[in-house]
Amino acid sequence: MAEAGRIVAETFEAIKDSIAPDVSTEELDRLASDFILKKGGEPAFKGYRGYPATMCSSINEQVVHGIPSGRRLKQGDIVSVDLGVRYKGFYGDAAVTYAVGGVSPAARTLMRTTEEALWLGIAQAVEGNRVSDIAHAIQKHAEGRGFSIVRSFVGHGIGRSLHEEPQVPNFGPPGKGPRLLKGMALAIEPMVNAGGWQVKILDDGWTAVTADGSLSAHYEHTIVVTGAEPLVLTKLP
């Protein structure tokens, strides 16, 4: 799993300088796919329930599961890139929201808050805590900044499958759900909206957008619960 996670992290490094005005999300998808294959991995999302691409690229009001296309990024957009890799039978999964050129202060604050919420959630992923302690830390931070938490998508266990038990919601009271045990691997992935939490799915059957058209950000890491600090597998040392 550590190796799968490392390939995910390296893929973000490999594509991030190309995330700039005028690149199409299809071109980014190709860069990611080529890199993953070169490393001996397989894109984990391609073919998953019929998903057609290597990454999800969700622009502005798109929340998650945006399908790469000929659409070109433009100055001021934010784009959430979500990537999964399968390597020697194990999965890694992560997401980052990028600014395309300079973006509005509101977009910056949303991105920063969502990333902070992810790290506060990760900090709760310690032996003996419960799954909803992660959720509560994320929700408290995002809502404390006046943002809202998407409810219809959640994080998940991960390992020999992309999605395993338990579900890891990003909202809820603390102290509920399964107890976290040493060795559990989780993909923690807050999706935070600038406006309301409601989302709808576009006619392509995949792309989730905010119902009110407000901006949305998404950050994700694959982590392992240990006796001490969580190990973050999708981050380079």
Residues forming contacts to ligand MF3 in the complex (CB under 6 A) are 45, 48-49, 51, 56, 65, 82, 93, 95, 156, 187, 189, 220
Stretch that binds Co ion, among 39-47, 63-71, 144-152, 181-189 (CB under 5 A): 181-189
CA dist., res. 52 & res. 98, Å (int): 22
- Among 187, 188, 194, 215, indicate the residue that binds Co ion (CB under 5 A): 187
User: Which residues in 11-158 belong to E strands, given as ranges?
Assistant: 42-43, 55-59, 62-64, 78-87, 90-99, 148-149, 155-157
Closer residue to ligand MF3 (CB): 142 or 187 = 187
User: Which residues in the chain belong to E strands, given as ranges?
Assistant: 42-43, 55-59, 62-64, 78-87, 90-99, 148-149, 155-157, 164-168, 185-188, 191-193, 199-201, 208-210, 216-218, 221-224, 231-232
Residue 65 interacts, among Co ion, ligand MF3, none and using kind-specific CB cut-offs from 5 to 8 Å, with: ligand MF3
Closer residue to ligand MF3 (CB): 81 or 100 = 81
Closer residue to Co ion (CB): 133 or 189 = 189
Stretch that binds Co ion, among 69-77, 126-134, 188-196, 210-218 (CB under 5 A): 188-196
CA dist., res. 126 & res. 8, Å (int): 23
Per rule CB under 5 A, is residue 133 in the interface with Co ion?
Answer: no
Give burial (CB, 10 Å; 0-12/13-18/19+) of 106. Answer: exposed
Give the residues across from 99 on adjacent strands: 78
Q: How far is the CB of 20 from ligand MF3 (least distance, A)?
A: 23
Helices 105-123 and 131-144, packing angle to 10 deg: 160
Closer residue to Co ion (CB): 103 or 188 = 188
Closer residue to ligand MF3 (CB): 77 or 82 = 82
3-state SS class at 201 = strand
Residue 48 interacts, among ligand MF3, Co ion, none and using kind-specific CB cut-offs from 5 to 8 Å, with: ligand MF3
Helices 2-16 and 25-38, packing angle to 10 deg: 140
Closer residue to ligand MF3 (CB): 46 or 174 = 46
Closer residue to ligand MF3 (CB): 49 or 88 = 49
Is the CB of residue 148 less than 8 Å from the CB of residue 193?
yes
Q: How far is the CB of 82 from ligand MF3 (least distance, A)?
A: 5
- Interface residues for Co ion in 46-105 (CB under 5 A)? 93
Question: How far, in Å, are 102, 206, 233 from residue 60 at the CA level?
Answer: 14, 16, 27
Give the residues across from 72 on adjacent strands: 24
Q: How far is the CB of 189 from ligand MF3 (least distance, A)?
A: 6
Q: How far is the CB of 93 from Co ion (least distance, A)?
A: 4
Q: Which residues bind Co ion (CB under 5 A)?
A: 93, 187, 189
